Amino acid sequence: MKELGYGRAYRYAHDEPEAYAAGERYFPDDIDEQQFYAPTPRGLEGKIADKLAHLRKLDEEAGKG
C-alpha cells in the first residue's frame, strides 16, 4: 500500500495544533458526512457542544467549511 501512495498526505492529529487535523475529511468522497451525535445544552454536553463548534470553526478556517 505504501508503494501505491496510500497515507502519503496523512496528518497525525496529535502532531497538529490543538491535536486536531483541521480540514481533514474521513468519509469516502462519494458519501456525504453524517452527524451521529448532537449534544444537549445541559451539563457537560454543553461544554462538548462548545468544543465541537470550535472544531467546526477550525475546519472552516482550513477551507473545509
**Nine-digit cell string for 62:** 482550513
- Look at residue 34 in the predicted model and tell me its pLDDT: 86
Q: What is the pLDDT of residue 54?
A: 97
User: How much is the pLDDT for 33?
Assistant: 84
The whole-angstrom separation of Cα 47 and Cα 24 is: 23
25-64 pLDDT, tens per residue? Answer: 888 889 988 889 999 999 999 999 999 999 999 999 998 6
CATH of domain 2-61: 1.10.3710
Which residue in 49, 55, 51 sits closest to 21, CA to CA?
55
**Collapsed DSSP state (helix, strand, coil) of residue 33:** coil
